[in-house]
Structure 1
Amino acid sequence: MRAIERIKKYFSSNYEVLAAIIIFTIVLVAKLEFYKTIILMLEFIVLMEVAKMISDFIKKEKLRLRFVIDIFIIFLIRDVIIYTSNTNKDYFTILFLLFVIFVFFIFRILAIKYSPGIVKLHQGNKEEHE
């Protein structure tokens, strides 16, 4: 009985594991191809990010570069999965996509590091110390 309580407690704080188990069970029962399921989930995430970006733009009248970069990274990861699961692999295309993902990750890090909101925060801290 104590073990069941521990399991309930674990899943209540780690709902992602429960969601993954449910999705995996559906994939097995429906006999879907796993890579196609992953591709569909990545496409869903891209759509969620686009909706989030549009919503944020409407509310704040600002377009966050981070959201745009995230969308491209997720979409490129989807393409890498498609190309690697293909029987006739085009390794040049796969390597090129991985390079582009790497470049976008660098842009994402720079976008976060040099964000205007963060620069204002750092300038405010400098003024307080003077």
Structure 2
Amino acid sequence: MSGFMKEFRDFAIKGNMIDLAIGVIIGAAFGAIVSSIVDDIFMPLIGIIIGGIDFSGIVLTVGEAKVNIGLFINAVVKFSIIAFVLFLVVKGINSLKREAAQEPVEETPAPSREEVLLTEIRDALRASPR
């Protein structure tokens, strides 16, 4: 059992678990920002453009059940915004990865005249009989 706990501890302490936790927290905060943008800015503007419709108030009543179509439309807009932003982030990261992969490898500079001369002297000394 201690091997399992050690393995779990190593997994939890590694950067992956901490990075994931930070990502979830930032994602939740980002979701709140997107919700505010959609609910408070985009949907009222879209409602004005299409004739003053308040999407959050669109409800379809079937018997005693209420189907909140407007809230669903808001959720679709929120999802679209989040998906688009994530697409841009991934596209940017992939672009940076491609640039990093294409960086030229530093070539060793050509030897100076002195180095060439010293190499010739060394080779001549090696070739001469002792």
Q: TM-score, normalised by structure 2?
A: 0.32
Greater CA radius of gyration, 1 or 2? 2
Q: TM-score, normalised by structure 1?
A: 0.32
- More relative contact order in 1 or in 2 (CA 8 Å, sep 6+)? 1
